[in-house]
Chains A and B, each alone.
Chain A
Amino acid sequence: MVGIVSYGFYVPKYRIKTEEIAKVWGKNPEDVKKSLMIEEKAVAGIDEDSLTMAFESASSALSTVNVDRSKIKIVLFGSETHPYAVNPASTILAEFLGIEKNYLAYDTEFACKAATGALISAQALIKSGYSDYALITASDKGMGKTHDILEYTAASGSVSFLLGKDDLILEILDFESFSSDTPDFWRREGIRYPSHGGRFTGKPSYFYHIESAAKSLFKKTDLSPKDFAFAIFHMPNGKFPVQVANSLGFSFSQIKDSLTVNYLGNSYTASALMGLMAVLEKAKPGDLIFLCSYGSGAGADSFVLRVTKNLSEKRRKDFTKVIKDKKYIDYPTYLKFMEMI
């Protein structure tokens, strides 16, 4: 069995409230909050980027287990805000983590599901015997154009996993992937801000792919929503995950713990995985967790995860407490941190 040996996350301490952005544009903050179900979002500082945040979450993942780093022969870095267009972030990350040089590294890109795709590849490489461990990182300093709806949602954050075969805290029981050529959200080379198709990002994109990846996995595993203790979906806003959970037959109580978007925003590749961070604080041994990421362009990766008895207090991370350490910033500071001014 391949699964997750340890995990780590990083949420920058800065937050901007929806009100702060809405008042700049003359919008009623209550309308925006009602529409997006986002109270505030996490913002990386001016000296942070996807790589520095990845280092934080990966260091955290490696800190709770005693693993010979030479056995980590796979380092994959999923992001849609890699610091370089050409020059891998995965090698910089590995170098700073002290992982030996005999490893396979690459950066992955598939909008917000770049890291779950990497996770699928890595677990297969472990199963094949290529490596005992793999380090997978999701990290983004998500950016939206000013006055675009993304400005309220695009957030910063990172999640890392150490995958392995033994001493697992979370088993990957099965997975499915569903993809198509659906241009709902994109950013061309050299263009700073992403573009999107408005409501087109919903029904034919997010909902179609997640529902398809989920149903396909239910069929494959002969499981149904009632079998899961928790469900987690990609969170471009606060509404979509609730709606897709409902349409698939999950109750609100199954997803409520995962809705980190309400207070952290959408950290792109780390979005659904951040939901898993919140859930792992509460999950008990034997619990089945359903996770489904979504990447524009478009595709969805669905997973059935099972919590093992190894998820002891020592290996479980404080999530609620850590994210309480925060500092609010105003709109000009936000623009400065995002290097927009």
Chain B
Amino acid sequence: MISLIGYYTTQFGELWDKSLFDLVIEAINGVLKQTRLSNKQIDAVFFGNMLAGVLENNLHSPSKIAEILKVNIPIFRAEAACASGGAAFNLAKTYLEANSNKNILVVGAEKMTDYSPEETITGLSAASSGEEQEAGLTFPGLYGMMANYYLEKYHYVEENLAYVSVKNHYHGSLNSKAHFRKKISIEDVLSSPYVAFPLKVLDSSPISDGASAVILTNDHNMIKKQKYSAVVMASELVTDTISLKERKQIDEILATKNAANIAFKKAKITRGDIGVAEVHDCFSIAEILAMEDLGFWKKGDGGKRIKELTTMYGNGGSLIVNTSGGLKAAGHPVGATGIKQIGEIFLQLTNQAEKRQVKNAKYGLAHNVGGSGGTAVVTILAV
């Protein structure tokens, strides 16, 4: 059995006085303190990060983490664009399946706001195919095409998408670590400027700095010693074509569908068992597609279901989604996001989610996407 025994995240936001590794240090020290582990008790580290190589010419980050931790253990960097955190977690779990009685530190971090928006956006577009980059397609452009197609096909309007942002900003207002703590209205979303039609500023997640860390273990004695723990029931990573044009459908993310199907099968639970989920809402449309592709909502129903706001905290729904605020309001420091999502599920399942605590959730799901769906990681935790 593999368990998650501790989680720490830094504040997400524009953290101009902190470097990438300042954030990594804070996250590592935070999670070690919480689990009362020393650096010497960590057997391996997996680090999720996308942009350090592109933006600051720092690729040999495992060695930097060895320097920070003052250890000489195996340390690996995982890169899968916005799913870098989820990929690092998935690799850590796989590592534990091959090694008994080990404690693994998984850190995800990104430093994005020290660069001009042009530099950061150019760096992020490294996650799309060469052809898409040459055509001038950015991620708002790609998701805008997906949104446009979805709205046309199922006869929805931009207002349907806006409910995602309203819900997630409300959740962000309850999370002290969130980049944005301000509640917004449907009118606010609809009147915000367009980024790539039909997506507007308030349909889009921000560029953020932040680092998050969890500790995984398969040492039973270690699990017993901990105050909080959650079982990792499944973590499945699936890939698909990098280019949107190569997909059979652009109103679904096949990698998400496949990863979810495998994860639910391995966890031996049904969709109805999940009480809390963190899904990859890089744009409002992405949460609607995710809810359908994960199997929570029927394909094409998402636009209607989101307006019911049953997935919003406090509305009595059986599944609450993106209690952290999601990428939209909690922020999206790319490499940290996948870890923060899993950490949020851990907080919820172990009753540490404070003002946004969902009652009686026994199972939780985290869904992390890289690019426009080239990679998807679905993780299921249980208590």
A204 near B16: Cβ-Cβ < 8 Å: yes
What residue of chain B has the Cβ atom nearest to residue A35's Cβ? B193
Shortest B187–chain A CB gap in Å is: 14
| B interface majority secondary structure | loop
B67 at the binding interface (Cβ < 8 Å): no
B193 near A28: Cβ-Cβ < 8 Å: yes
A199 near B193: Cβ-Cβ < 8 Å: no
A198 near B117: Cβ-Cβ < 8 Å: yes
CA distance A254 to B14 in the complex (A): 32
B17 at the binding interface (Cβ < 8 Å): yes
CA distance A204 to B17 in the complex (A): 9
Shortest B331–chain A CB gap in Å is: 14
A313 at the binding interface (Cβ < 8 Å): no
Shortest A9–chain B CB gap in Å is: 35
B17 near A31: Cβ-Cβ < 8 Å: no
A31 near B193: Cβ-Cβ < 8 Å: yes
A200 near B193: Cβ-Cβ < 8 Å: no
A326 at the binding interface (Cβ < 8 Å): no
Interface string of B6-37 (1 = CB under 8 A from A): 00000000101100000000000000000000
Interface string of B102-116 (1 = CB under 8 A from A): 000000000001001
B17 near A27: Cβ-Cβ < 8 Å: no
Scoring B16, B17, B116 by chain A CB atoms within 10 A of each residue's CB, the highest score goes to B16
CA distance A251 to B261 in the complex (A): 60
CA distance A195 to B117 in the complex (A): 12
CA distance A27 to B194 in the complex (A): 9
A200 near B117: Cβ-Cβ < 8 Å: no
Shortest B351–chain A CB gap in Å is: 35
Which of chain A's residues have a CB closer than 8 A to the CB of B14? 199-200
What residue of chain A has the Cβ atom nearest to residue B201's Cβ? A31
Which of chain B's residues have a CB closer than 8 A to the CB of A27? 193
Q: Which of B105-146 contact A (CB under 8 A)?
A: 113, 116-117
What residue of chain B has the Cβ atom nearest to residue A30's Cβ? B191
Interface string of B158-193 (1 = CB under 8 A from A): 000000000000000000000000000000000001
Which of chain B's residues have a CB closer than 8 A to the CB of A28? 193
Interface string of A196-227 (1 = CB under 8 A from B): 00111000100000000000000000000000
Which of chain B's residues have a CB closer than 8 A to the CB of A198? 116-117
Which of chain B's residues have a CB closer than 8 A to the CB of A204? 16-17
CA distance A199 to B209 in the complex (A): 14
Shortest B171–chain A CB gap in Å is: 23
Which of chain A's residues have a CB closer than 8 A to the CB of B117? 198
Which of chain A's residues have a CB closer than 8 A to the CB of B16? 200, 204
Which of chain A's residues have a CB closer than 8 A to the CB of B17? 204
Which of chain A's residues have a CB closer than 8 A to the CB of B193? 27-28, 31
Q: Which of A221-244 contact B (CB under 8 A)?
A: none
Q: 10 more A-B contacts (CB under 8 A) besides A28-B193, A198-B116?
A: A27-B193, A31-B193, A195-B116, A198-B117, A199-B14, A200-B14, A200-B16, A200-B113, A204-B16, A204-B17
B interface residues with partner A (beta carbon < 8 Å):
14, 16-17, 113, 116-117, 193
The 6 closest A-B pairs by CB, nearest first: A204-B16, A200-B16, A31-B193, A199-B14, A28-B193, A198-B117
In the complex, 12 of the A-B residue pairs with CB atoms within 8 angstroms, ordered by the A residue number, are A27-B193, A28-B193, A31-B193, A195-B116, A198-B116, A198-B117, A199-B14, A200-B14, A200-B16, A200-B113, A204-B16, A204-B17
